[in-house]
A = this chain, B = another copy of it.
Amino acid sequence: MFRVELKIMPRKGILNPESSTVTRALKAMGYDKVKGLEIGKFMEFVVNLDDVKTAEAYVEEICKRLLANPVIEDYIYEIFPLEEE
């Protein structure tokens, strides 16, 4: 079993409406010290597999096929062995 931390961020240069909306809201509230805000997704999950190579290939595949949009997003993940309870 492995615990996975997956970060999915908008690709540099891709317009991110959510980031600009939040930046504008912060400015409207008087918080104008925030620069270059980027908003993405963070996922945590467990993969019920036995070896790390299989787990890596599995995570790579679910990122490519479902979790991340390769056209507009970059993804990076870390895999940690999970002590079986």
Partner-B contacts on A (CB < 8 A)? 7-9, 22, 25-26, 29, 31, 33-49, 58, 61-62, 65-67
Contact = CB atoms under 8 A, between A and B. Distances in A.
B42 A41 contact: yes
Contacts of A44: 9, 36-38, 40
27 contacts: A9-B42, A22-B67, A25-B66, A26-B66, A29-B65, A29-B66, A31-B58, A31-B61, A33-B48, A34-B45, A34-B46, A34-B47, A34-B48, A34-B62, A35-B45, A35-B46, A35-B47, A35-B48, A37-B43, A38-B43, A38-B44, A39-B42, A39-B43, A40-B42, A40-B44, A41-B41, A42-B42
